[in-house]
A and B are shown apart, each in its own frame.
Chain A
Amino acid sequence: MPRFTFRLNGRAVAVDSWDPAQPLLYALRGPLALHGPKFGCGLGQCGACTVLVDKTATRSCTLPVSVAAGRDITTLEGLGTPEKPDPVQAAFIAEQAAQCGYCTNGMIVAAKALLLRTPKPTLEQIKQGLAGNLCRCGTHTRILRAVMRASQA
């Protein structure tokens, strides 16, 4: 079975996959046992599966594992923990910016990428930066406040 190696949350990992077109998401959630990135649509439409690939927010549900090979992947778990959260995670917790939380992975990872590019965004820039991430519970106003709070941390 072909083997694909990449960096995952700071560590070198290898995944065997029978299909080089297998989306990275299935490798992350299956053999690599991570559950931050979520399956939402498999179409790159909702953002629930977002990970950082070389610091760029990327839809892992449409990224073939063969393309991820050799890259530096960071998932929600790689940003921080409940005990030591990343400032974006800490801001989401402080603002209680979740309801069901299924979109939260994508929101935090996309916000992290946005703040890496634009450390002091305006509210409008945050709205545009998260325009491709869907939330169904309607937690948008809290998510916006959380990203704003993280940018001021």
Chain B
Amino acid sequence: MQTPASISRRDLLKAGGALVVSFAFAVGPRRSEGRGAAQTPASSNNARPLDPGEVDGLLAIHADGSVTLYTSKVDVGTGMRMALAQMAAEELGVAPARISVVEGDTSLCPDQGGTGGSTGLTRGGTEIRAAAATARRALLALGAAELNRPAAGLTITDGEVRPLAGGPGIGIGTLIGDRRFALKVDSMAPLTPAARHTSIGKPLLRPDVPDKCTGRHMYIQDFTLPGMLHGRVIRPPAIGATLISVDESSIRGIPDTRLVRVESFLAVVAKDEWAAVRAATALKATWTNWEGLPGHQGLDRYSRMAALDRDQSIVNRGDAPAAMRGAAKTLSATYFWPFQSHASLGPSCAVADVRADGSATVWSASQGTHGLRTNLARVFGLPPDKMRVIFLDGSGSYGTNGTDHVAADALLLSKTVGQPVRVQWMRHDEHGWDPKGPQQLLDVRAGLDAAGRIVAWETEMWVPNAAPGSRALLAADAARIPQEHGTGSGAITQNGEPPYDADNIRVVAHLIKETPLQLSNLRAPGKIANVFAVEGFTDELAVAAGVDPVEFRMKRLTDPRAIEAISRTASAFRWETRTSPNPRARQGNLLVGRGIAYMRYKQNENYVAMAMEVAVDPASGNIQVRRVTCAHDCGLIVNPDGLRNQVEGCIVQTLSRTLHEEVTFDRSRVTSVDWASYPILRFPEVPAIDVILINRPDQPLLGAGEAATAPVAAAVANAVFDATGVRLRTAPFTPERVKAALHP
């Protein structure tokens, strides 16, 4: 058994060895500022203010007229990078291609918050646009002085301040060229009106796609440093197990490899990546037994019986219990959503370089590099002003996947061995140890009066409480380093009430004290399950009322944007007005039906309606989603092609979550640790998808990375009911579960 202090230097790797290949990547000079500047100390020479309230914090105009934006918001494959450039381009009067974006570098970018909750454009973009509009006003003033004309007679086009009346202009790079504006961002600075937009609203192609299609794009997984070691962490066979002993001789034959142990944090580092992988597999270690999990089966019962921290009133309008008692007809149902994984296609990766003087640089695909820096510095006792976290693109993360944990792994290893260390998780690490989206249990009840009006609605949800504080880092827990143990998983109680006219509504969250698995925000936190329950149950009400599901919803809505989303969906889908179930469902061996779901994201953002046609094979229990029609209104559209890509992705990914995905675990550990035990949707299941984008240039923009996920499960369940007459209320809708429901 070794402690870090006693590690033999025998195999210490000769730095700069032939196997360490530094990857030269093709990016513009401006972008390399954020990515390639490997050894710049965190606090050095940065003249720009790291303040999102300062124009110079968010943007710089260079002497050649090109522009760099600086933001803590990061593009995790969403196309946000392009959209930010379009928003800034619109105000600065430059082509979007002249704009590059430095994202998530804590030494260069002001903290505009982490990337989550679909706030990349709503906050990041809106603040940058305001900064660009403030800069525009200043550039016009500078141009007015230079051209000797009133600013009101000038405009900015193609990167030049020009007289509206024609005549020679002057480049913005000449006017400001790398000098500071020294202006506060004026959120009231006039914006270019929608009618004159030349960048916003255009389906511009993303600059990263050609590189991604040719192997040139730089991912965190591709990043290397000279003298860097490859690390692999050996996690315990049971979540709460501690390390008893390690047999170092078990990896003796593997070249240039050494063991690192800090309490129960067990890892290997090697010069060669494959050596690290082999050593992590070969290493023999003895751990304590631990059986503290309830197991995934019966998790709905577990949720209902679990000890609570408290109850939280989410919505309380009127007197729902009293109205329920007076209703002509009442219905109730229970819905359940399982633990799910981000299941990123590429396991999380990070590179850390901790120096003897306590300075540290971490390269990470984290969606919140500023928060990660604060937490890493606090937990590992490093000075935050000497720590820099630099974002590099990763595999799609869809929330907080394993990225923060792997950053801690790399940091602890680099701090311990005194060399730069890269850690990439293995597949079983990512599936087994990424913090999960929580299970959700919902009881819904409604009372209808004799005319079919919803007079009472109650939702009770059982969800894990969000204990305050940062999420505990696996490496620090294993190394017995004290830290916070927050259990936040995002705003998981939103969309628990119907968006329809209902006189009395009560939504209560029973906040469960403990969670079996570590939690984090997983795309559209909580909303998919809540809308599954609310919109599935709305369908049950429509059936009980004997009314067509589209008509039932439209009659209970007054907001014209909601009505337009549903009516355009129904019309494009060629919705056949009738009650469910489908009287002509049978097509050969299949049962065919259609369903609809609608929601307004977080009750105050995007309007999304979605109709689906499914074919159910009653013999196999297989559900084939044949086609999906979705109308999506997120206000002003910045890039319709990027938006369409996001909406399609939301639909397909959530079909996968609805039909296939459930994290399984026994009493000790997660058992769904690869793509066989945690299957996701494959190409043969992909439906035809028709997305209708409703653009509202006169309205504020809303984020679009999540909203279209929310109605998916309900739309499938409602279509399956239409096809079969059987209501699915527990996800995922696996063939076994469907068969059991069809043949009870």
Contact = CB atoms under 8 A, between A and B. Distances in A.
Contacts of B653: 136-138
A96 B396 contact: no
B214 A85 contact: yes
Contacts of B645: 96, 99, 139, 142
A122 interface: no
A21 B649 CA distance: 37
Interface string B634-656: 00000001000110111111011
B487 to A, nearest CB: 25
Contacts of B650: 138
A130 interface: yes
A107 B219 CA distance: 17
Interface in B277-330: 277-278
A115 to B, nearest CB: 15
A102 interface: yes
Interface residues of B, number: 66
Binding site secondary structure of chain A: loop
Interface in A74-113: 75-77, 79-82, 85, 89, 92-93, 96-105, 108
Contacts of A153: none
A35 B222 contact: yes
B418 interface: no
Contacts of A96: 205-206, 209, 641, 645
Given A100-B396, A137-B653, A108 B213 contact: yes
Nearest to B78: A99
A89 B212 CA distance: 10
A136 B345 contact: yes
B56 interface: no
Contact of B346 (A39, A43, A126): A39
A104 B212 contact: yes
A81 B347 CA distance: 26
A41 interface: yes
A93 B205 CA distance: 9
* Size bin of chain A's contact surface: 35 or more
Interface in B9-57: 18-19, 21, 23
Interface string B257-295: 000000000000000111101100000000000000000
A34 interface: yes
A142 to B, nearest CB: 7
B212 A101 contact: yes
A30 B76 CA distance: 25
Interface string A113-153: 00000000000001110111111111111111000000000
Interface in B343-384: 343-347
B657 to A, nearest CB: 10
Given A36-B215, A102-B396, A48 B23 contact: no
Contacts of A40: 345-347, 427
B651 A92 contact: no
Given A77-B214, A85-B213, A139-B648, A100 B675 contact: no
Given A80-B214, A100-B76, A127 B684 contact: yes
A101 B648 contact: no
Given A48-B345, A99-B645, A134 B686 contact: no
Contact of B213 (A34, A89, A137): A89
A89, A128, A135: residue with the most chain B Cβ atoms closer than 10 Å: A135
A70 interface: no
Contact of B214 (A42, A82, A137): A82
B216 interface: yes
Given A26-B274, A35-B219, A75-B215, A139 B649 contact: yes
Given A19-B274, A38-B346, A42-B426, A134 B213 contact: no
Given A30-B19, A42-B426, A138-B653, A35 B345 contact: no
B330 to A, nearest CB: 38
A82 B346 contact: no
A80 B77 CA distance: 22
A34 B215 contact: yes
B344 A76 contact: no
B713 to A, nearest CB: 14
Contacts of A35: 23, 215-219, 221-222
Contact of A19 (B76, B209, B278, B424): B278
A144 B394 contact: no
B275 to A, nearest CB: 7
B7 interface: no
Contact of B689 (A29, A46, A126, A141): A141
B552 to A, nearest CB: 29
Nearest to B675: A45
Contacts of B688: 141
Nearest to B230: A30
A62 interface: no
Given A134-B675, A134-B680, A92 B209 contact: yes
Nearest to A33: B21
B272 A18 contact: yes
B674 interface: yes
Contacts of A93: 205, 209-210, 213
Given A99-B78, A100-B396, A46 B214 contact: no
B153 interface: no
B674 A45 contact: yes
**Nearest 7 interchain pairs by C-beta:** A36-B215, A100-B77, A138-B652, A101-B212, A100-B396, A138-B649, A99-B77
Interface of B: 18-19, 21, 23, 76-79, 205-206, 208-219, 221-222, 255, 272-275, 277-278, 343-347, 393-396, 398, 424, 426-427, 641, 645-646, 648-653, 655-656, 674-676, 680-684, 686, 688-689
5 contacts: A31-B18, A39-B424, A41-B427, A99-B77, A102-B346
Interface of A: 17-19, 22-23, 26, 29-31, 33-43, 45-46, 48, 75-77, 79-82, 85, 89, 92-93, 96-105, 108, 126-128, 130-144
